[in-house]
Amino acid sequence: MKVLFMNEREVYAQLEMAMCMDLMRDALATLARGEAVLPLRNMVWLPDRSGLLGLMPGYLGAPQAFGLKVVSVMPGNHGTGYDSHQGVVMLFGVRHGEPLAILDANAITAVRTAAVSGAVTRALAREDAGDLALLGSGVQARTHLEAMLAARRLRRVRVWSRTRANTEKFAREQGARHGLDIEVCADAESAVRGADLVCTTTSAREPVLLGRWLAAGAHVNAVGACFAASRELDSEAVARSRLFTDRLESCRAEAGDFLLARGEGAVTDDHLLGEVGDVFLGKLRGRTGPDDITLFESLGIAVEDLASAHALLARARESGAGQWLDWGGPAGV
């Protein structure tokens, strides 16, 4: 028996954004139909709380995929030679439970998270949306720019992050890559005012996006905050928006943007309208008019990783990509 191994470079080469956007739309629709098993992620902290191991298991009915993502989160790695997030996505056979693939989780997460936002933007943003504000200048900002380019025809791109040098580097490199003139903004408000597409991709624990900055008709992809005590959006931004998420259970347990706004009395549980999978299936109305502000609260869930891993395994079988290593076989063989 052979198992597929794919490193970061190989995953990026095989998991194209446009393809992944379609994969994510289908995976979240499958989830909305009830054809998936998706427990809440489990986190194991080191005794001194300096890092954690996150475990995200699941099963997806179509395409049929069974496995988990395991990621270490080590905030102390900033400024070292190690990424703060490192891990693998593991895929197993549904019938016999045999290991099928071990894939780099960083690259999968980078692409699939932005691909979900891209698919949601196609469903929720106005058709004429094209003025993009990016808050953040890291990996997710890079992949979200790619996803927004696939989702809408961009006429303007602005970026802000806490470190000016990083913002300028992002604008220079990504502008050259995509043939864009990316504007560097001195503050988040300058980036957001007048934008009709906003992506928050920061590691902030306190709001970087204020509701009073949002233009009528804007769509927001809130990506960076995935813990109950962290937020990128203030309560007014949440209250002004039609709020959707990838998984209701995850949002109610882990989304600080929603939970802290609710705790401050700005919204109630009813403000969370539902899952984007139901929007994709036509069971839930997304935008009701051109002036609606729509908000997608992205938590990142295992079915997104499993759908990506399934596609990578299929492509590797066709093309020979990755490395196939001997693992073992049935008992007695």
Domains and CATH numbers, the chain: 2-108+302-326 (3.30.1780.10), 120-297 (3.40.50.720)
Per mean pLDDT, which range of 8-17, 82-91, 106-115, 181-190 is the poorest? 82-91
Distance from C-alpha of 184 to C-alpha of 158, rounded to nearest angstrom: 6
Query: If pLDDT is split at 50, 70 and 90, which confidence band does 293 have?
Result: very high
**Alpha helices, DSSP H, located in 231-275:** 235-239, 248-254, 256-263
The yes-or-no verdict on residue 52 having pLDDT over 50 is yes
List the structure tokens of 157.
């791109």
pLDDT digits (tens, 9 = 90+) for 104-144: 999 999 999 999 999 999 999 999 999 999 999 999 999 99
| pLDDT given for residue 6 in this prediction | 98
The pLDDT of residue 79 is above 90: no
pLDDT number for residue 333? 45
pLDDT computed for residue 332 by the predictor: 42
- Reply yes or no on whether the pLDDT at 195 is more than 80: yes
Q: Among residues of the chain, what percentage have pLDDT more than 90?
A: 91
Per-residue burial over 227-263, b if 16 or more Cβ lie within 10 Å, else e, is: ebebbbbbbbbbbbbbbbbbbeebbbebbbbbbbbbe
Q: What is the pLDDT of residue 76?
A: 83
pLDDT band for position 239 (cuts 50, 70, 90): very high
Instruction: Give the separation between CA 238 and CA 280, rounded to whole angstroms.
Output: 22
C-alpha of 181 from chain center: 25
Q: What digits encode the pLDDT tens for the residues 90-114?
A: 999 999 999 999 999 999 999 999 9
Confidence of residue 331 (pLDDT cuts 50, 70, 90): low
Reply yes or no on whether the pLDDT at 40 is more than 60: yes
Q: pTM, whole model, 2 decimals?
A: 0.95
- The Cα–Cα gap between 196 and 277 comes to 22
